[in-house]
Amino acid sequence: MTTPDYLQQVVISGRRRASAAPGATGTLSPSVTGAIWAGLDFLTAIVGGMIAYRIRLIADAPTPEEVVGPHLVSIPVAVAVMYLLLFGIYLVIFSRVYGLYDTAQHQSGLHEQRMTVQATLTAGLLLCGTLYVMHGYALSRAIVSLTVLFTLLMQMARRGVWRKLRERRYLQGLETRNVLIVGDGRVAHALRNHLEALRHMGFRFKGFISLVPRRDDIANPDVIGDVQNCVALARSLFVDEIYFSTPADKRIVVGVVEEARALGIDVRVVPDLYDGLAWNARVEYIGQFPTIPLHRREFPRGAFLIKRVLDVSLSLLVILVLSPFMIAIAAMVKFGSRGPIFYRAQRIGRKGRMFTCYKFRTMVINADKLREDLAHLNEREGVLFKISNDPRITKIGAILRKYSLDELPQLFNVLVGNMSLVGPRPPMAAEVEQYDIAHLRRLDVLPGMTGLWQVEARQDPSFDSYISLDTAYVENWNLLLDLRILARTIGVVVGGTGA
């Protein structure tokens, strides 16, 4: 098992009892995701009906003149629209019933397509029943059949394309789910092999957890801890799911679930291991491996999808509008002092992934080496570093920093998906090495060009304030908060308080 070197230095704290209320799954309602998919399904039904209606008109008309002439009046348009809307509603209801709006990562593509067929055909049958009861004989059966057929084909195509795009991102290591497995016996190894064989589904094995205190001379190097520090270890490795693959004391399992719930980590067990712990719970398959979820945090994929669309569209717009200005800045940096135009730095992003962050260079070329000599002048607390009248800053750099113009190249980081317009500041690896377990919460989301700390307390030297504001942003995130931060950022930039 491989983990980032800077995370191996994180001290694993003892168990911390969950302080969140039972059942809390986050601050943003997961219905946003379901509403987006429901809206797409409803729109697909409407489009399918319109195509069927148009084809029926053309098929019935002997000449083009009759298609646009009095023949059109004979088709009950109002009635057709009413029943088409009913079909869209039926489709959304049964798609929900068949679990098509649940997390698709735990479902195979074949299962998803099968449920799509069932939901669409059931909605079509219910539409036929409604027509019979309401005596809607004026609506052609051919139109109904074609509507169901075209809706089904478009639904299957849309879901298939979306799944392929998602699986491609998983294979690239993006948006994956890290997994810890409690136990290291036969079932645990079988589960690990199964997950690693399904890399296209986005699961990444991080290690086994022993039920007994871990010994340094243990034979299996993949056993990275014991159940006493299971959740703390999961937090440090950015684990999304914990699987119990071997029987354990029920109190231990409940304790892990309580701690994991507070940190938003999912917990699952293999069926038949814990009698009475998950009565009436639905069995979910990870590929072909059955599991029972004891706790699951609903990830607001729909809201984050909207956030990503806003990031791409706004950053692309700003780049296009400010490209002449950015070229002018690049020229001033190039001719203002010796060195490259851009400053490239390795930063830690979401879930501890390292990426290259770009800025306009504002310091002399050996600034990083000079930092050690200036450490005694640091005006910030903890891992933060800043001094007034920093001698490493160039004349052009001072102006760029004052108005935060040096950060404009990070718009390209936003475009490729390493950063967001709004989020916690991207930290250096040296900073993350000094984080406590609780501080890792700020790495649960993409870092941002601006954030709550930048607009609220950028001049505050307190490290605790820096961490608490970033953590508050992560725990209370919503789209409106992002828009408010962006609006306040404009004031910060115009006011020249960025230095």
Kindly state the DSSP code that residue 337 receives in the 8-state scheme. S
Domain boundaries, the chain: 31-171, 176-297, 302-495
Quick one: pLDDT at residue 466? 75
Q: Which helix (H) or strand (E) holds 343?
A: strand 342-348
Handedness of CA 85, 86, 92, 98 (dihedral sign): negative
Quick one: pLDDT at residue 7? 36
Is residue 445 scored above 50 in pLDDT?
Answer: yes
In three state form, how does the secondary structure of 291-310 look?
EEEEECCCCCHHHHHHHHHH
Q: Tokens 């039904």 identify what position?
A: 45
- Quote the CA–CA distance of 479 and 308 in Å, as a whole number: 11
Reported residue count of the chain is: 499
The mean pLDDT of 370-399, rounded to a whole number, is 72
Q: Class assignment of domain 176-297?
A: alpha beta
Kindly state the DSSP code that residue 229 receives in the 8-state scheme. G
169's tokens? 């991102």
Residue 317, class by beta-carbon neighbours within 10 Å (0-12 exposed, 13-18 middle, 19+ buried)?
exposed
Q: Are 444 and 351 in contact (CB under 8 A)?
A: yes
For the chain, the distance separating the N- and C-terminal CA atoms, rounded to the nearest angstrom, is: 42
Q: Crossing angle for the helix pair 109-133 and 77-97, nearest 10 degrees?
A: 140
CA angle 108, 257, 190 (to 5 degrees): 45
The residue among 278, 422, 292, 295 whose CA lies nearest residue 26 is 295
DSSP sequence for 126-162: HHHHHHHHTT-TTS-HHHHHHHHHHHHHHHHHHHHHH
- Range with the poorest average pLDDT among 246-260, 271-285, 340-354, 370-384: 271-285
The residue among 105, 94, 110 whose CA lies nearest residue 42 is 94
- Quote the CA–CA distance of 444 and 430 in Å, as a whole number: 18
Question: Is the entire prediction scored with pTM above 0.75?
Answer: no
Is residue 71 scored above 80 in pLDDT?
Answer: no
β-partners of residue 450 are 422
Residues contacting residue 88 through CB under 8 Å, at least 6 positions apart: 41, 42, 43, 45, 46
Query: pLDDT, tens digit, for every residue of 207-247?
Result: 898 887 766 555 677 888 888 888 888 888 888 889 888 87
Number of neighbouring beta carbons within 10 Å of residue 390: 19
Provide the pairing of β-strand 223-226 with 203-210. parallel
Quick one: pLDDT at residue 410? 93
Is residue 288 scored above 80 in pLDDT?
Answer: no
